[in-house]
Amino acid sequence: MADPGLSFTLVDPESFDSIPAPALPGDRCQTCDYWERLDGQREASESEGAADLKLSRLMAGARLAGAYGMLAWRNDPAGNRVAVGWAQFGPISRYPRAQVIRERYNSLPDSPAPWVVTCLQVVPGTADREGVGAELLAAVCEELDRRGITAVEAYPEGVADPWAVSVGPAAVYRAAGFKHAAGDEHFPAYRRELEDASADVGWGDLLSHTRPPDEGEDWPLSLPKGPSEEDVFRLPPKPNRPNPFGDD
């Protein structure tokens, strides 16, 4: 049953600092580049440049369709809105580590290329933590369905504390309608096919994200740099990369 106290918003520059800390001590979502680079780090960095780079990555698709992150909010006892959950997602071409992991699962379909959820975190101690995570995933899938994305994947890990892994617990994905599509219980791949709600939305709604507030004779502008058709519908090439799970 949906929690009426929860609300969901795409991340933006104003809410970026509200992204809650992940479960693993010492990590910081605002500077993490673990999925964006094969040699990326989860550990916190006080570098202003690292935070600026992370924000620019999350907002890379904002002017075309929407940002690559979503927050879950709930009011605290004092009535203040507090972020209790965070999900990061995007075209698989934006996340090299996800590409390498996916290459291990030959049974997954090559086309169309999926989008991936790389991070799913709910603040420890949150009431019905798994339920909040499932509702956040459902909201992410609804948003991606609206954008015309046909499938979403995630690659959780079977570890003692599944929240300590950035992707979050496999159980939460199952609760949100994802199916175990490949791999074993230790390194599974979960996939959810979407329903193409974008057919009822149309390009006008999607492109409204690009409309400047002071539109005039210069509108429409040329499309900004960002996600392309290739990003959304094609898998990137498969270069030789290190094994993200370690040597076999």
* pTM exceeds 0.75 for this model: yes
CA distances to 32, 69, 106, 132, 155 from 110, in Å: 28, 24, 9, 31, 16
* pLDDT tens digit at each of 248 positions of the chain: 678 899 999 999 999 999 999 888 888 999 999 999 998 887 777 778 999 999 999 999 998 889 999 999 999 988 899 999 999 999 999 999 999 999 999 999 988 889 999 999 999 999 999 999 999 999 999 999 999 999 999 999 999 999 999 999 999 999 999 999 999 999 999 999 998 776 555 544 554 444 444 555 554 445 455 555 455 556 666 656 666 566 55
168 vs 84: CA distance, rounded Å: 14
